A and B are shown apart, each in its own frame.
Chain A
Amino acid sequence: MMDEIRNGFPKYEYMKQMNTEKLEELLRLSGSEEDTPERDEYVDAIISELLRREEEAPTGRLTDVDKAWNDFQTYYNTPDAKPMEVPLPVPNAAKPKKFLWRNCLGIAAALVLLCTLALPPALGYDDFLHMVGEWTDDIFSFTPAGKVRETQSSGSEYQTLEEALDAYGITEFHMPALPEGFELVELVAVPIAEETDKMYITALYQKGHDTVTIMITENEEKNTNYSAFEKNDTSPSICNISGTDYYFFHNNSKETVTWNTSILKCTIHTTLSQEDLQELIESMYERS
């Protein structure tokens, strides 16, 4: 970006004619735009113009970096400091590949079976077309119609997953019986988006090197959420219990099961075996 600051963005030359307040207003408004490379370039152009002006004629908008560094060392980088939990950028994130029927008849057959099983009366969905599982060689997803929404996370003060579920009135999830010795090490409960009381709750349990992660997302109206899971190149196995389809798949030495109800999207990841995972699911029914 330094080159752009020096040389400017030719496409956005017009910004030089605008006053600083107008540029700041454009920057503020850009927050509601979708995150695209074009939007990034546009924002970078505004920032580079604002920085250029401040370098030429300082107005106090820029932070004294020495002071900021000192504040960082004194007030932020303290022994009790706990970094905020937010999704971090991942290099070379796996992208869904186009599904090719001719490459895998087995998967095609499984998809047909899935569509047959995913009838709304059986599953209790209002709109099943928007809530069927699909997968490629390396991604399994529940794909809704509509825009992808980001999920942000932060710490939670609940002591147990059951407590968090109670607090948010989530009664449709029944806690599985974890194998003995697993302890809760992290619990996060946050709204799935702005202006909503729908929650995303995740709980990580650990015993030695083994982990069990339970993730529960309340569905927004019209199922505007999207979820995708990395998987290996075998098709998920589907197990129907009491009208709910459970999709089991394997990736990176971990087993995953994911399922939807009319109001929840649930996932369990674990380092345990698929048999253990199936027992966890069965235990939910024994407890309910």
Chain B
Amino acid sequence: MRPDQKAFFEAFYRENFNKLKYQAYPYLKQLDQCEAAVQESFLIAQDKIDQFMNHPNPYGWMVKTVRNVALNMQRTQDRYLRLCQEAETLAQRPDPSSSDLLHLDFICASIVKEEEYALFRAITYGSKSYMEASKELGISPEACRKRVQRTAERLRKALSEGG
């Protein structure tokens, strides 16, 4: 980004972060997830800085982007939740709120590693945000998201093949 773009971007970020966070709230319902949606949206805005800055209404552009990101996150979360429930129903594990993963042998043995499933589950049930998990693992939220995505994909394939 050019210096003028950087200055615009940071000033806009600081002025609007919390307003935008609430714009994600109708879809994500949890403020920490809304915060992640806004951060993701700013990453998009940075990537499309010309489009964003030159838009007649940059705030409106950003609101729509935040909503689309939030909707995307919400749908991904819903898909993960269905996967999790399907996997755990198959594992005959009656209490999905428990953090005990010992009975998930069938999942962890051949499809995904236990720590991968634990991360996937924590993200899916909202007990950890991508930011929290990425800080714990010492990786970026993007890398963390990729790990969860890969786990979900392996589970989906295994369940569709097995089902």
A residues engaging B (CB < 8 A)? Answer: 1, 24, 27-32, 35, 40, 43, 46-47, 50-51, 54, 61-63, 65, 68-69, 71-72, 75-78, 80-84, 86-89, 91, 150, 152-155, 157, 167, 190-191, 194-195
Contact = CB atoms under 8 A, between A and B. Distances in A.
Nearest to B27: A31
Contacts of A150: 68, 71
A63 B63 CA distance: 17
Contacts of A83: 40, 43-44, 46-48
Contact of B72 (A1, A35, A152): A152
Contact of B39 (A35, A54, A76): A76
A69 B25 contact: no
B26 A86 contact: no
A144 B69 CA distance: 26
B107 to A, nearest CB: 19
A54 B31 CA distance: 14
Contacts of B40: 76, 83-84
A69 B13 contact: yes
Contact of B143 (A80, A167, A191): A80
Given A51-B18, A71-B39, A72-B13, 10 more contacts: A47-B19, A50-B22, A65-B18, A75-B135, A81-B43, A81-B140, A83-B47, A89-B61, A89-B64, A190-B75
Contacts of B143: 80
Interface of B: 10, 13-14, 17-19, 21-23, 25-27, 29, 31, 35, 38-40, 42-44, 46-48, 51, 55-56, 59-61, 63-65, 67-69, 71-72, 74-76, 78-79, 131, 134-135, 140-143, 149-150, 153, 157
Nearest to B134: A75
Contacts of B17: 63, 65, 68-69
B131 A71 contact: yes
A47 B141 contact: no
Contacts of A30: 26
A91 B50 CA distance: 13
Given A43-B23, A71-B131, A76 B18 contact: no
A75 B131 contact: yes
B10 A69 contact: yes
Contacts of A32: 26
Contacts of A77: 43, 46
A153 B64 CA distance: 15
A84 B71 CA distance: 12
Query: Which are the 3 A-B pairs with shortest beta-carbon distances?
Result: A31-B26, A86-B68, A89-B64
B72 A154 contact: yes
Contacts of A84: 40, 43-44, 69, 72
A18 to B, nearest CB: 15
Contact of A86 (B27, B60, B65): B65
Contact of B65 (A1, A62, A88): A88
B35 A68 contact: yes
B18 A62 contact: yes
A125 B31 CA distance: 46
B71 A88 contact: no
